[in-house]
A and B are shown apart, each in its own frame.
Chain A
Amino acid sequence: MLSFLANPDRFMAFSRWAAPMFGVLAGLLIAVGLWLGFAAPEDYQQGDTVRMMFIHVPASWLALFVYLCLGVASFLSLVFRHALADAAAKAAAPLGAVFTALALITGSLWGKPMWGTWWVWDARLTSVLVLFLFYLGYIALRAAMDDETRGGRAAAILALVGLVNLPIVKFSVDWWNSLHQGASVFRADGPAMTNDYLIPLLLMGLGYMAAFGSLWLVRIRAEVWRRRAMVLALKAAEA
């Protein structure tokens, strides 16, 4: 699949129909997820704040997943020097930064009524903040260098270094004492919630994933066009 899409023309043909398809799918999944999420009974301990789970948890999943995509694309860009992989990495970073910011902000809004504080410097929250800073660092490093190729390589190395943070985010609640609760969906002994909450949460998770897929493809297409425009402008200047 990756080698098939590595050809820019094939990628543009594929993404032309895949991007809107993922977008429509995202809209449907999120609409049904929100409907079921607000139809679910309020939690006996957390009351109506439990509804924030349907936006906070998917944003957190995407914060990690998008960084994994950024890391893989950066690796392929560094090893194979493939322009499309570099475009994919560049396109993923702002989306990942937004999902991470959403995870932090919605988590803070959930934390205040449940923990009594907006923020605490515990392992989970701090490691997600570090993840956000890696995204910002990646974007800033690319933008800081005049030579796009050098900027892309430097940023790719930073992205690979940041991969170390992903297992720290995931397992921080197991390795250290934390106010943040442990995993409640992807657990060895099954999800720790009833279907009333699990189904809308999974629908929202898939909806966020489809939304990312759609927006990522649109941004990669934009980057391919930007690079074509640069080449055309250079040719026009030489002529």
Chain B
Amino acid sequence: MPDLDTGKYALFVWPAFAVSAIGFAWMIADSLARARRWKAEVERLGGKAGR
């Protein structure tokens, strides 16, 4: 079973995981937002967004 107790190193371990989670969250949100925005723009201009 996973042991989430990182003892005296918690102040270093958890910020590292938090920063990684934030990095991933930004990459996912920004990538999806760009794709949605430009697909909608193509459709608004009357083009075929295609597959």
Contact = CB atoms under 8 A, between A and B. Distances in A.
Interface of A: 9, 12-13, 16, 34-35, 37-39, 47-49, 51-52, 55-56, 59, 94-95, 98-99, 101-102, 105-106, 109-110, 112-113, 211, 215, 218-219, 221-223, 225-226, 228-229, 232-233, 236
- Interface size class on chain B is 35 or more
Contact of B35 (A47, A51, A218, A232): A218
Nearest to A95: B27
Contacts of A12: 50-51
Which of B16, B34, B39, B51 counts the most chain A CB atoms within 10 A?
B16
Interface in B1-51: 1-10, 12-13, 15-17, 19-20, 23-24, 26-28, 30-32, 34-35, 37-39, 41-42, 45-47, 49-51
Contacts of B20: 55, 59, 102, 106
Given A38-B2, A49-B9, A109 B16 contact: yes
| Interface SS majority for chain B | helix
B51 A228 contact: no
Contacts, number: 111
B2 A222 contact: no
Contacts of B19: 102, 105-106, 109
Given A49-B12, A211-B24, 12 more contacts: A13-B51, A38-B3, A51-B6, A101-B23, A105-B19, A106-B19, A215-B27, A215-B28, A219-B34, A219-B35, A222-B35, A225-B35
Contacts of A211: 24, 27
| Interface SS majority for chain A | helix
Nearest to B21: A55
14 contacts: A12-B50, A16-B51, A39-B1, A47-B7, A48-B6, A48-B9, A49-B6, A52-B13, A55-B16, A105-B16, A215-B31, A218-B35, A221-B35, A225-B39
Which of B27, B28, B32 counts the most chain A CB atoms within 10 A?
B27
Contacts of B47: 228-229, 232
Which of A38, A94, A229 counts the most chain B CB atoms within 10 A?
A229
